[in-house]
């Protein structure tokens, strides 16, 4: 039985997820909650190895279905080993990307469609976030923020790919309005932080 709070952050690469996650962590810790901060792909030692395979620029021949299944494999391990036990112990789990990333990047970006959600049903077995913050920022801007540093295999994709991913996120926001909260991520860091904190206050009031 799930007792904790499961929160995920989503959005294009460079949209400010890692920046805001630190404030979200502070929010819960300063109120005495036990927290687990984690990310996908990764979050377990098996998952981190899978992450290296997926993001390696040398793996340019990777088939989209292989990519989907690797993300799902990393997720299955993550749910079983980290997320579900933490939630059962009443902790707050804060996850940088989760299943919505697969639907946006593989379902929409790679044009694989509905099979991505089906495959992931087996990976998560009902473990769905209570709340998801979607950092809404034009993909061009996110990529611009990352700058000219070394890009991984997904970040190196054409802008047309990232636009399709963004359409996927907009679809998800429309489809799951009770869970997914869209955040205008083009604003300053402090303004975004204040809006997220307001939403978190509401969440803990309801719990
Ligand atoms: P993500 O985790 O989504 O890839 P990051 O939090 O790492 O994004 O942010 C990407 C870059 O943009 C970092 O250099 C970060 O300092 C910067 N950044 C984050 N939030 C903002 C913001 N609201 N406005 C401008 N730059 C930002
Ligand atoms: P990461 O480097 O953690 O994201 P960011 O660049 O936003 O900090 O994520 C690795 C990449 O993997 C990112 O481009 C999104 C992509 N991804 C998918 O394509 N499918 C998925 O299921 C997940 C979790 C991530």
Per residue in 130-161, pLDDT (tens digit) is 999 999 999 999 989 988 788 898 898 999 99
Strand bridging mode 5-10 / 131-136? parallel
The ligand 2 atom at the shortest distance from the C-alpha of residue 105 is 19
Helix (H, G, I), strand (E, B), or coil: what is residue 95?
strand
Distance between CA 96 and CA 132 in Å, rounded? 10
Distance between CA 199 and CA 201 in Å, rounded? 5
CA separation (Å) from 66 to 35, 50, 95, 186, 191?
A: 32, 11, 23, 33, 39
* Average pLDDT value over all residues in the chain: 96
Distance between CA 124 and CA 172 in Å, rounded? 17
Kindly identify the ligand whose nearest atom is closest to the C-alpha of 19.
Answer: 1
What is the distance of C-alpha 33 from the center of its chain?
Answer: 21
- pTM recorded for the entire structure: 0.97
Which CATH number applies to 5-206?
A: 3.40.50.300
- 78: Cβ below 6 Å to ligand 2? no
Q: What percent of the chain is predicted at pLDDT more than 90?
A: 93
Q: What percent of the chain is predicted at pLDDT more than 70?
A: 99
- 105: Cβ below 6 Å to ligand 2? yes
Kindly identify the ligand whose nearest atom is closest to the C-alpha of 17.
Answer: 1
Q: How many CB atoms lie within 10 A of CB 54?
A: 20
Per residue in 71-129, pLDDT (tens digit) is 999 999 999 999 999 999 999 999 999 999 999 999 999 999 999 999 999 999 999 99
The tokens of 34 are what?
Answer: 């036990």
The ligand 1 atom at the shortest distance from the C-alpha of residue 192 is 23
The domain ranges of the chain are: 5-206
Per residue in 27-61, pLDDT (tens digit) is 999 999 999 999 999 999 999 999 999 999 999 99
């Amino acid at each position: 039985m799930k007792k904790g709070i499961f929160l995920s952050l989503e959005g294009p690469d460079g949209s400010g997820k890692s920046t805001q996650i630190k404030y979200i962590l502070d929010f819960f810790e300063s109120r005495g909650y036990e927290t687990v901060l984690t990310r996908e792909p990764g979050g377990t030692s098996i998952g981190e190895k899978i992450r290296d395979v997926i993001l390696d620029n040398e793996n340019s021949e990777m088939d989209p279905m292989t990519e989907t299944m690797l993300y799902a494999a990393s997720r299955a391990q993550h749910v079983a080993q980290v997320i579900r036990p933490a939630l059962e112990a009443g902790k707050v789990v804060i996850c940088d990307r989760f299943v919505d990333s697969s639907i946006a990047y593989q379902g929409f970006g790679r044009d694989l469609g509905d099979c991505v959600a089906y495959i992931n049903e087996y990976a998560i077995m009902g473990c769905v976030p209570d709340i998801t913050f979607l950092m809404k920022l034009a993909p061009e801007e996110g990529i611009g923020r990352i700058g000219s540093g070394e890009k991984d295999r997904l970040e190196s994709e054409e802008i047309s790919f990232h636009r399709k991913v963004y359409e996927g996120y907009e679809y998800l926001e429309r489809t799951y309005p009770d869970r997914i909260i869209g955040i205008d991520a083009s604003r300053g860091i402090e303004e975004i932080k204040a809006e997220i904190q307001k939403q978190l206050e509401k969440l803990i009031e309801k719990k």
